[in-house]
Amino acid sequence: MDELTRIKQLKKEKNAIILAHNYQRGEVQDAADFVGDSFGLSQEAASHDADVIVFCGVDFMAESAAILSPEKTVLMPELSAQCPMAAMITPDSLIKEKEKYPGAAVVCYVNTSAAVKAESDICCTSANAVKVVESLEEDEIIFVPDRNLASYVARYTGKKIIPWRGYCPTHEMILPGDILLEKEDHPDAEILVHPECRPEVIDLADKVLSTSGMLKYASQSGTPEFIIGTEIGLIHRLSLENPGKTFIPATRFAVCPNMKMNTLGSIVRALENNEHVIEVRESVRVKARIALDGMLEVGRGD
């Protein structure tokens, strides 16, 4: 029996659903019931009636599903699939930062641990970060952990943004020179980049969009060619949903090795062996849920 057939069989047996982030391997995306960004996957985890959620992404995503759906079993096929940026902020370091700015609200990017979410006032995604910041009464905002997303938000708000110094190693690999070289080869292509990119890369973009925003824009635009400044896994879905259009990675080095850890084989093992179960301590879960619920109430930004 091949892996895809086995996955379908196990899903039926266990009333399971497979969620895959847009940066996953192509074959993992194709095997998933739902492919999306952090916002969409958080919503799917909360709304679906499956008993088991197999989360093909990185650690904080599986934690978010466990926070929103404590009655369900959340499985993470590869425990080593950690988010480097999420690891750049800890609850203790955030508590110390809050002590420096007692009047500031804390906005945490969804790319954070459950424990950091529990110390935050509200979460955001790359799609709704500006909208979330604008929804708050406070004029000072501690924004963790992504300095590049914080810088992007600061362009569109009059509030004082206090950034943490974290970053996404994959998006940091995308350099202005990469964009300029591809633009020279493809002068008519539109440049779409993710707000996790460096400010100088954002300055070169035609549009700055989340992964879901890129998918939506590419499908609606009459432009036949795009330069894509984000993790290259998104190009699989962009190409699938837009036959006849061309998608060029800003650099082929924009690969997140942790996102690529999940395979069809690890999904099979997760379902067969009920591994690895992701649980969040109740005292942390309740507080983190408030931050996530706040994000869901604000809604999408793209």
Indicate the residue type of 30: D
**In this structure, are 159 and 222 located in the same domain?**
no
Q: Cα(151)–Cα(158) distance, rounded to whole angstroms?
A: 12
Q: The CATH number of the domain where 219 resides is what?
A: 3.40.50.10800
Residue 274: the pLDDT is: 96
Cβ(170)–Cβ(256) under 8 Å?
yes
Cβ(56)–Cβ(258) under 8 Å?
no
User: How do the pLDDT tens digits run along the chain, 302 residues long?
Assistant: 899 999 999 999 999 999 999 999 999 999 999 999 987 887 888 888 999 999 999 999 999 999 999 999 999 999 999 999 999 999 999 999 999 999 999 999 999 999 999 999 999 999 999 999 999 999 999 999 999 999 999 999 999 999 999 999 999 999 999 999 999 999 999 999 999 999 999 999 999 999 999 999 999 999 999 999 999 999 999 999 999 999 999 999 999 999 999 999 999 999 999 999 999 999 999 999 999 999 989 987 66
Residue 51 lies in a domain: yes
Residue 141 lies in a domain: yes
**In this structure, are 150 and 183 located in the same domain?**
no
Sign of the torsion angle spanned by Cα atoms 17, 23, 28, 32: positive
Within 10 angstroms of residue 87's Cβ, the number of other Cβ atoms is 15
| Non-local CB neighbours of 143 within 8 Å, separated by 6+ positions | 107, 109, 133, 149, 150, 153, 161, 162, 163, 164
**In this structure, are 162 and 290 located in the same domain?**
yes
Q: Cα(34)–Cα(296) distance, rounded to whole angstroms?
A: 18
**In this structure, are 77 and 124 located in the same domain?**
no
**In this structure, are 164 and 205 located in the same domain?**
no
Residue 21: the pLDDT is: 97
Residue 302: the pLDDT is: 61
**In this structure, are 152 and 207 located in the same domain?**
no
DSSP H helical ranges for the chain: 3-14, 26-31, 38-47, 59-68, 91-100, 114-118, 129-135, 147-154, 169-172, 176-185, 199-202, 211-220, 234-241, 264-273, 282-298
**In this structure, are 163 and 90 located in the same domain?**
yes
End-to-end CA distance of the chain: 42
- 187 phi and psi angles, rounded to 5 deg: -65, -25
Cβ(203)–Cβ(237) under 8 Å?
no
Residue 113: the pLDDT is: 97
Residue 190: the pLDDT is: 98
- Count how many domains the chain has: 3
**In this structure, are 155 and 290 located in the same domain?**
yes
**In this structure, are 163 and 289 located in the same domain?**
yes
| Non-local CB neighbours of 274 within 8 Å, separated by 6+ positions | 73, 75
Residue 254 lies in a domain: no
Residue 57 lies in a domain: yes
Domain containing 53 equals 3-82+259-279
**In this structure, are 181 and 155 located in the same domain?**
no
Residue 210 lies in a domain: yes
**In this structure, are 24 and 51 located in the same domain?**
yes
Residue 169: the pLDDT is: 98
Q: Cα(259)–Cα(31) distance, rounded to whole angstroms?
A: 15
Enter the tokens of residue 245. 């259009």
DSSP H helical ranges for 143-281: 147-154, 169-172, 176-185, 199-202, 211-220, 234-241, 264-273
**In this structure, are 239 and 194 located in the same domain?**
yes
Residue 1: the pLDDT is: 80
Q: pTM for this one?
A: 0.94
Residue 46: the pLDDT is: 82
Residue 128: the pLDDT is: 93
Cβ(18)–Cβ(31) under 8 Å?
yes
